[in-house]
Amino acid sequence: MAVMELRNVVKKYHLADGNDFTALKGINAQFEAGEMVAIVGESGSGKSTLMNAIGGLDSDFTGEILYHGHNLAQFSQQELVDYHKKSIGFIFQNFNLIAHLNLVDNVAMAMTLSNVDEKTRVARAEQLLTKVGLGDHMYKKPDQISGGQKQRVAIARALVNDPDVIIADEPTGALDAETTGVILALIKEIATEGKLVLMVTHSDRVAAFCDRELRIENGKLLATTPTSSPATTPAVGRLEKVANMSLAKAIRLAFLNMKAKFGRNFLVALGSSIGIMAVILMLALGKGVTTYVSSTMKSYTNPNITEVHKQAGNQQKAMQNPQQMDRAEIAKQQQANIAAMTGASGGGFTDKDIARLKKIKHVDRYQLGYSAFSMGNNAVTYHGKRASVLMLQTMSDNIAKSTIVKGHAPHRGEVVLDKGTADLLGKDIVGKQVTFDLKVGTKNLTKTMTVAGLYEAQTQSVSTMIVSYDEVAKLYSETGQTLEPNVIYLHTANKDNTKQIKNKVKKLGYTGSMQEQMTEMFTQMLNVITWVLTAIAAISLVVSAIMILVVLNISVVERTKEIGVLKALGARRKDIRRIFAAEAFLIGLFAGILGVAFTYGLSLGINRFAHSAFDITLVMLTPKYVMTGIILSVVISMIAGILPANRASKLDPVEALRKE
């Protein structure tokens, strides 16, 4: 029975001006297994159009093309794909080998698309390459062999899945006479082995080599041999189902192509990696600095304690809405705050304040405190050496024990000095008596005290004296004044409650410690800077996304013909989309890894410098940031790859193959 039967096949091309051009005008023919048929005719007569219809590349025709009795026009998408893979082998005039694949991979392509395992694939490709006389060239690339050799590879490729129809479109058109003879002999051998060979040719010599000749003229067949019998040929058996290409194989193909264009892909990935690097670096830098600030805060304060200060003046409420205050009001408030800080006026807690604060949930006890910042009023003298003291502070549970580096906490008549100031006065000052000139409230006073110990906190560099609260109260009463506490320390048994207490304190209109306020401000500023820089980095990511989109689009244009070949060999739209999506994925992955590597290198340098200069780790590159960078890179790249991948998958195989 006939392998192929054509019944009244009509093909019309729809033209831009709205008219139709009829390229095939009712073709009837019948082809048997083992036949080698020449399709001859003038240029433009419709030979390629007919072959495209028979080969299943163009389904837009009327009439019937029956393959073993199955009507091609009624094939589903998957059946057409299986038909390409298993039933039809194409040989093109210009060979259409895939330049970046070696000969074995080229020949095995239809098997790769059918998900055949590597061992079987390679064995079959090597066997066929040996058969067509290329046993010594199997791992060369197409541009390393001659034209005749390329066509032999194409023949081997057409045979790889053992199809029963071979469509050869001018297979010897690009070859010299001698090579033509060799190729024709090879093709003849294929027919003798029982396959149907349909060969388009212009050459009478080639046509004479075939078993019979079909001549097309102006879209019509001139019957040189009997046309098809009118009898209906029954469909025989089911069409063979073929497996589809797995994702892993699509990724492998993408990888091979990327390797071939390594320089270009490397540059694109390098460009994208800069944006990724900027993002990770910003995040890691932000993390490093905030961790440093909060850890130093924690190291010299007690986590169970909330330090409370009072906003000076009676504008406590208004300060919470600074946007509602005019500039004069803000300035007035700031001055009042400074006055309170220096202990000169205001800022004192009343009994009412204390009652409110101690009622806060989870507060189990409180401690009164006093701190004053003096502008050149306070000084300490020891054996004729004098140092000014900027900060007067009372001892509290909030001062971590570890910060008293020598001696002990101050009792009555004792003082703890910061280490810097103590060093100014001389060595071994602990236990010695020193004289203070102090401004207490609004009065001046000279007082002798014993140095009980030395204080050292990493973040506090102002000269400080620490005395007990009772001592300050005594100083006040000695000068006929009453001390109002301007700091209150709220204690909670469980440090997890501290945050809640701090929030409540703020809600009630009080503020935290000065360090806390500064840290908060600093962290906020840092956050803003981090986000601004991250936004800039994000812009560079958008730029890299556009770059990837452009490069992949160029790749689609460059590889249009390759895509046509892949489709002729049985690649589904999905396979083509996957190959391009996999390329985008690989570029993204590579860019992400490069970005992480650059960030790591930079972080080593920055941290080495930060360690030697400030003894801190400035860039904290955590696994979370590494993952964020890589995932971000892959996602951006894949998004950029969607359009080109879709475009590639939608290419019409006939048009793609026609592309010059």
Ligand X SMILES: Nc1ncnc2c1ncn2[C@@H]1O[C@H](COP(=O)(O)OP(=O)(O)OP(=O)(O)O)[C@@H](O)[C@H]1O
Binding interface with ligand X (CB under 6 A): 13, 21, 23, 41, 43-49
| CB of 27 or CB of 569, closer to ligand X | 27
| CB of 94 or CB of 233, closer to ligand X | 94
Q: What is the DSSP secondary-structure string of 435-478?
A: EEEEEETTEEEEEEEEEEEEE--TT--S-EEEE-HHHHHHHHHH
Q: What are 358's two structure tokens? A: 């101690």
Pairing of strands 464-467, 391-394: parallel
Order across the sheet with 36-41: list the strands.
88-91, 165-169, 196-201, 36-41, 212-217, 220-222
Q: What are 575's two structure tokens? A: 């396979």
| CB of 45 or CB of 301, closer to ligand X | 45
Task: Reduce the secondary structure of 41-59 to three states and give it as a string.
Answer: ECCCCCHHHHHHHHCCCCC
Which residues sit opposite 367 in a β-bridge? 489
Name the minimum Å distance from CB 228 to ligand X.
21
What are the C-alpha distances in Å from 431 to residues 324, 410, 416, 449? 53, 11, 10, 10
| CB of 45 or CB of 265, closer to ligand X | 45
| Phi, psi at 299, each rounded to 5° | -70, -25
Name the minimum Å distance from CB 14 to ligand X.
8
Name the minimum Å distance from CB 222 to ligand X.
14
Name the minimum Å distance from CB 603 to ligand X.
58
**Dist. CA 402–CA 453, nearest whole Å:** 12
**Dist. CA 615–CA 607, nearest whole Å:** 9
Q: What are 150's two structure tokens? A: 């390329």
Name the minimum Å distance from CB 41 to ligand X.
6
| CB of 91 or CB of 640, closer to ligand X | 91
Residue 41 makes CB contacts below 8 A (sequence gap 6+) with: 47, 215, 216, 217
Place of tokens 């001139």: 222
Name the minimum Å distance from CB 71 to ligand X.
22
Name the minimum Å distance from CB 168 to ligand X.
13
C-beta neighbour count of 517 within 10 angstroms: 12
Name the minimum Å distance from CB 29 to ligand X.
15
| CB of 43 or CB of 612, closer to ligand X | 43
| CB of 44 or CB of 605, closer to ligand X | 44
Residue 55 makes CB contacts below 8 A (sequence gap 6+) with: 84, 88, 90, 167, 568
Name the minimum Å distance from CB 165 to ligand X.
18
| CB of 170 or CB of 575, closer to ligand X | 170
| CB of 48 or CB of 302, closer to ligand X | 48
SS3 169: strand
